[in-house]
Chain A
Amino acid sequence: MFIQSIKMALKSIMSNKMRSFLTMLGVIIGVFSLVVLVSLVTGATGSITDSINELGTDQIDVDISDVRGVPISLEELRTDIASIESVKAVAPQTYGVGEVTSMTKSVRAVAIGTTPELAEIQGIKLEAGRFFMNPDLDNNTNVIVVSHELAVDVVGRSDCVGETVKLGGRSFTIIGVMEKQSNSMMMLMMGTPYRAYMPYTTLVRLIPGKDMSVWSFSVSAVDDLDQAEKDIQEYMIRRFPGDEEGYSIYNESQISDQMGKITGILSILLGGIAGISLLVGGIGIMNIMLVSVTERTREIGIRKAIGARPSVIMLQFLIEAIVLSVMGCLIGIGFSWLAMQLINMIGKVSFGLSPVVVIVAVLFSMGVGVVFGLYPAKKASAMKPIDALRFN
Chain B
Amino acid sequence: MIVFKDICKTYIMGDEQVHALDHANIHIKQGEFVSIIGPSGSGKSTLMNIMGCLDTASSGEYYLDGMPIERYSEKALAKIRNKKIGFIFQSFNLISTMTAEENVELPLIYQGVRASERKARVKEALEMVDLYSRRGHTPNQMSGGQQQRVAIARAMAAKPSLFLADEPTGNLDSATGKQIMSIFKELNKQGNTIVLITHDDSVACQAQRSIRIMDGKVSDIAYDENGEQVAPMRGGTV
- List residues of chain A with CB under 8 Å of any chain B CB: 1, 4, 11-12, 15, 298-299, 301-312, 384-386, 389
CB–CB B54/A306 < 8 A: no
Given contacts A302-B93, A304-B78, A307-B82, contact A386 B110 (CB under 8 A): no
Measured between C-beta atoms, what is the minimum distance from A378 to chain B in Å? 14
Query: Which of B83, B96, B97 sits near A307, CB closer than 8 Å?
Result: B83
**B145 close to A (CB within 8 Å):** no
| Interchain CB contact (< 8 A) of B95 among A299, A307, A386 | A299
Chain B interface, number of residues (Cβ within 8 angstroms)? 25
Contact indicator B74/A308 (Cβ below 8 Å): no
Q: How far is A310 from B79 in the complex, measured between Cα atoms in Å?
A: 10
Nearest A residue to B52 via CB reads: A305
Question: Known contacts A11-B97, A306-B154, A311-B75; is A386 also within 8 Å of B55 by CB?
Answer: yes
Minimal Cβ-Cβ distance residue in B for A308: B110
- The digit string for B81-120, where 1 denotes a CB below 8 A from any CB of A, is 1110001000001111100000000110111100000000
* A309 CB contacts on chain B under 8 angstroms: 75, 78-79, 110
Known: A303-B106, A306-B110, A307-B79. 9 other contacts (CB 8 A): A1-B109, A299-B96, A304-B81, A305-B93, A306-B158, A307-B78, A307-B81, A311-B75, A312-B110
CB-based contact B78/A386 at 8 Å: no
Using CB atoms, name the residue of chain B closest to A298: B93
> B92 — nearest CB in chain A belongs to which residue?
A302
Alpha-carbon distance between A302 and B155 when the two chains are bound, in angstroms: 12
Give CA–CA (A54, B54) in the complex, Å.
75
* Known A310-B78, A311-B75; contact A305-B54, beta-carbon cutoff 8 A: yes
16 A–B contacts from the bound complex (CB under 8 Å): A4-B109, A303-B95, A304-B78, A304-B81, A305-B52, A305-B54, A305-B93, A307-B79, A307-B81, A307-B83, A308-B110, A309-B79, A311-B75, A385-B55, A386-B49, A389-B93
Give the CA-CA distance A301 to B52 in the complex, in Å: 13
Alpha-carbon gap, A144 to B20, bound state (A): 107
Instruction: Judge whether B54 and A385 touch: CB under 8 Å.
Output: yes
Q: B110 contacts A307, CB within 8 Å?
A: yes
Task: State whether B54 touches A308 (Cβ < 8 A).
Answer: no
Q: How far is the CA of A131 from the CA of B135 in the complex (A)?
A: 85
Distance in angstroms from A391 CB to nearest chain B CB is: 12
Residue of A nearest to B94 (CB): A302
Whether the Cβ atoms of A305 and B81 lie closer than 8 Å is yes
**CB-defined contacts of A301 to chain B, threshold 8 Å:** 93
B83 touching A302, Cβ below 8 Å: no
Q: Assess whether A306 is in contact with B75, with CB atoms less than 8 Å apart.
A: no
- Is A389 a contact of B54 with CB atoms below 8 Å? yes
Chain A residues in 8 Å Cβ range of B78: 304, 307-310, 385
A303 and B97 alpha carbons, distance in the complex (Å): 13
Do residues B112 and A306 form an inter-chain contact, with CB atoms below 8 A? no
Contact with A along B43-60 (1 / 0, CB 8 A): 000000100101100000
In the complex the two chains form, what is the Cα distance from A311 to B74 in whole Å? Answer: 10
Q: Which residues of A contact B110 (CB under 8 A)?
A: 303, 306-309, 312
CB distance from A17 to the nearest CB of B (A): 13
Q: Would you call B97 and A306 a contact (CB within 8 A)?
A: no
> Which residues in B have their C-beta under 8 angstroms from that of A306?
81-82, 87, 106-107, 110, 154, 158
Nearest B residue to A302, CB-CB? B93
**Residues on the B chain within 8 Å of A385, using CB:** 54-55, 78, 81
Nearest CB in chain B to that of A11: its residue: B97
Verify B107–A307 contact, CB threshold 8 A: yes
A233 to B148, CA, bound (A): 92
Q: How far is the CB of A49 from chain B (nearest CB, A)?
A: 54
A114 shortest CB reach to chain B, Å = 78
- The CA of A1 and the CA of B75, in the complex, are separated in Å by 16
* Residues A15 and B111 in contact, CB atoms below 8 Å apart: no
